[in-house]
Amino acid sequence: MNNLIQPKLLRDVIKLDKGKPPAQQGYYGPDAALYLTPDYLRGGAQPEHVKPSSNAVHVKDGETIVLWDGSNAGEIFRSKQGVLASTMARVIHSEDYDSNYFFFALKGWEGYLKGQTSGSGIPHVDKEVLGKLTLFEFPKTEQSKIAEVLSKVDQAIEHTESLIAKQQRIKTGLMRDILTRGIDEHGNLRSEETHQFKDSPLGRIPVEWGVKQIQDSNISLVDGDRGENYPKQDDLLDAGYCLFLSAKNVTCSGFQFSDCQFISETRHKKMGSGTVAKNDVILTTRGTVGNLAFSTGAEPYQVIRINSGMIILRNNEPGLLTPYFYESLRNLIFAIEHQRSGSGSAQPQLPARDIKMFHFLKPSPEEQNRIVDVCKHIENRRMDSYNSLLKLRSLKNALMQDLLTCKKRVTPLMEDMEVGS
């Protein structure tokens, strides 16, 4: 660490302005202003127009804001022009700090600050904890360069997030087209102008395709373990153990093997039939309903069981390829059929009797293979973008750790790297 650059206590270099409740909400008069709430600043809500109170805190674009009260107290934002919500506070820093550098430097403490909130009711930022945070006071020219590096990474992250959102929108429409119109022997997406179509329970489909309900097919439903067999955490025995999945371990992207539960092999042998086999499709049916995973047989565990929040769909239907059935189920069938079946219970759930009523489409096996290949290509492109996003976020975290704590100086770094290239 360079001894010439010393950290300073935040309480010595800042002042706080706490936001105030508006005089009137839903106001569109001549003095109306945007009300800056956390949801709006995160990009998850439309701005609300209010009549500012006489002591309102008016902020400009780019100021540093901290969420003072609530479940995410300690979250750091870059402001937009408007009136600050009563749950937030503006952090005014001394002239010794570049505003962009100050934002990133305080943002680096966000995780710690959120973990140190106080209050027996609504959590809030502990002012003493905030004041004891330290920031390095580099020369302002160096602060600007640090902010420039981190801003470039932020821009690359925002661009990649925008690309992923665009890919998802395209994927949603394209997958529905592929799974209802198909791909002909020439590799072209069918259309009603060039091919014959017919009506089906899942919409207009090529005339050569078949339609079946699961209850009329050789697709069996295997329940997860329930009732008295529902196991608690076991010690891992030398005799062996197996993975016991709950619904939280099946996400919209397939299996998620962190935070798993294991049971002994002895208990596994005494339980029911909910053991996952190669080519099984697993569907969550309670709580977060509709997440699917496909067992390729290459999972990191030899024996996998599921609990009662899931069900196995085991395909033995002649002429139906399981990878196609899986893609069709997660990108088309579930969205249509579950919307019809619906469930009015407090906890969302999907009973087996409703799943048995689901319809599925049956092109020729050759066309099913073509459809699966296109689906994989689309998913691979999405995953490439997602992995790029993870790398950029990791890069940003590493840069913040190094540059904001004086472990590395920014000038040689800027000479050696091209951020986001």
Q: Is this structure's pTM higher than 0.85?
A: no
Q: Which CATH number is associated with domain 7-137? A: 3.90.220.20
In this prediction, residues 405-418 reach a mean pLDDT of 68
pLDDT at 339: 65
328-368 per-position pLDDT tens digit:
998 888 777 766 655 545 567 888 899 999 999 999 999 99
Tell me whether the CATH fold assigned to 7-137 matches the one assigned to 210-362: yes
Q: Give the C-alpha separation, 23 to 10, whole Å.
A: 32
In this prediction, residues 40-67 reach a mean pLDDT of 92
CATH class of the structural domain 140-196+364-421:
mainly alpha
Distances 335 to 100, 265, 289, 291 between C-alpha atoms, Å: 44, 37, 11, 11
Q: In this structure, which CATH number among 1.20.1600.10, 3.30.1330.60, 3.90.220.20, 3.40.50.10330 belongs to the domain 210-362?
A: 3.90.220.20
Q: Give the C-alpha separation, 333 to 216, whole Å.
A: 16
Nearest CA-CA partner of 40 in 8, 84, 98: 84
More confident of the two residues 204 and 345: 204
Nearest CA-CA partner of 67 in 38, 47, 42, 41: 38
What's the mean per-residue pLDDT of the chain? 86
Domains of the chain, residue spans: 7-137, 140-196+364-421, 210-362
Residue 415 pLDDT greater than 50, yes or no: yes
Q: Could you tell me the two tokens for 309?
A: 């929040």
pLDDT at 420: 45
What's the pLDDT band for 50 if we cut at 50, 70, 90? very high
Residue 227 pLDDT greater than 50, yes or no: no
SS (H, E, C) 325-362: HHHHHHHHHHHHHHHHHCCCCCCCECCHHHHCCCEEEE
pLDDT at 406: 83
More confident of the two residues 30 and 261: 30
What's the pLDDT band for 64 if we cut at 50, 70, 90? very high
